[in-house]
């Protein structure tokens, strides 16, 4: 139990934010969830506060939102938008992912918060791992796109702010995170499986680390309950993931089982999939299905005596519970 600890959670209206808020509330924290606007799931709950665009909030309002918080979990971010390239899109992403992050952390430090947790991305490390060589915290950063670069720049800004203020900062580099109401690539794959679309993935032999929102919420609760005097005044980075990586065909089969349908997989050589992807301008998307991206989570597990409590099957069962949209 966290006693009187108050946690401000940004991005509380997203699927990760809602799961995190629920887990932290169950652990005894008072949660103040910042959302862009109230909706049917948040309007009747006073712990959710509509704030509009965080990038447009002035410093006085940020201080009000941080007032009384002992911890801040910053989940809000701007991700890459399809067909939104160019300097304007990059500037908007940097404004949200770097500038807002730094301003929130400054406000948290100025109002007396003890710990600022930042949701970063494993894409800071890179896009793929060779067999037997998972990403680790000690690896040099290798961001390949504007989103990953903005997250790395935010980590650097947080390191400077932590040193200047003494605030404890923890950056969590997360892989693909899934759960109820998840969108983007995970939702697209689930819709294809549910619709019985034949998928050419049976010959893929890769390993990809994923993270269920239940495991993420538990990790956040464990992290916020910890006290690490040595971490004050610096930005400590950790990698998080479920207990075991999965191959793409294993993930398809697990999704199909959770949905109660038969998986429809057939074999196409990965080299041919890559060739077709390159021909149609979808090389990066195909590589995420064919290639490997593993993370070594031993640093977090060892430091906090933590083990992911939920299996892939349990997380998927929640993701596709009756009434959950796809």
Q: Which of 147, 178, 238, 257 is catalytic?
A: 147
64 class by beta-carbon count within 10 Å (0-12 exposed, 13-18 middle, 19+ buried): middle
Residue 246: CB partners within 8 Å, gap ≥ 6?
207, 208, 210, 254, 312
323: left (phi over 0), alpha (psi -120 to 50) or beta: left
Residue 76: CB partners within 8 Å, gap ≥ 6?
10, 11, 14, 17, 34, 54, 96, 100
Longest CA pairwise span in the chain (Å): 58
147 in catalytic set: yes
Which contiguous run of DSSP H or E holds residue 104?
helix 101-110
Query: How many beta carbons lie within 10 A of that of residue 192, not counting itself?
Result: 16
Catalytically active residues, by annotation: 147
């Amino acid at each position: 139990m966290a006693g009187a600890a108050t946690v401000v959670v940004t991005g509380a209206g997203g699927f990760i934010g809602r799961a995190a808020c629920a887990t932290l509330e169950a652990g005894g924290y008072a949660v103040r969830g910042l959302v862009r606007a109230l909706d049917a799931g948040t309007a009747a709950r006073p712990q959710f506060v509509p704030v509009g665009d965080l990038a447009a909030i002035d410093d006085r309002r940020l201080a009000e939102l941080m007032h009384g918080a002992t911890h801040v979990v910053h989940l809000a971010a701007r991700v890459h938008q399809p067909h939104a390239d160019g300097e304007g899109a990059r500037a908007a992403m940097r404004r949200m992912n770097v500038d807002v992050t730094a301003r929130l952390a400054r406000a948290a430090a100025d109002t007396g918060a003890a710990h600022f947790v930042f949701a970063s991305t494993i894409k800071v490390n890179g896009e793929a791992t060779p067999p037997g060589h998972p990403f680790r915290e000690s690896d040099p950063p290798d961001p390949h796109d504007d989103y990953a670069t903005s997250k790395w720049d935010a980590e650097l800004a947080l390191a400077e702010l932590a040193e200047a203020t003494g605030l404890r900062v923890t950056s969590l580099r997360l892989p693909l995170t899934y759960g109820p109401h998840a969108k983007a690539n995970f939702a697209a794959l689930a819709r294809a499986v549910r619709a019985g679309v034949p998928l050419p993935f049976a010959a893929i032999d890769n390993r990809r680390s994923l993270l269920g929102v239940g495991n993420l919420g538990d990790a956040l609760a464990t992290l916020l309950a910890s006290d690490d005097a040595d971490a004050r005044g610096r930005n400590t980075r950790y990698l998080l993931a479920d207990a075991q990586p999965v191959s793409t065909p294993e993930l398809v089969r697990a999704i199909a089982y959770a949905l109660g349908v038969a998986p429809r997989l057939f074999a196409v050589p990965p080299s041919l999939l890559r060739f077709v992807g390159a021909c149609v301008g979808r090389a990066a998307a195909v590589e995420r299905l064919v290639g490997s991206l593993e993370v070594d989570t031993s640093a977090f597990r060892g430091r906090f005596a933590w083990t992911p409590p939920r299996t892939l099957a349990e997380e998927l069962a929640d993701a596709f519970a009756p009434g959950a949209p796809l």
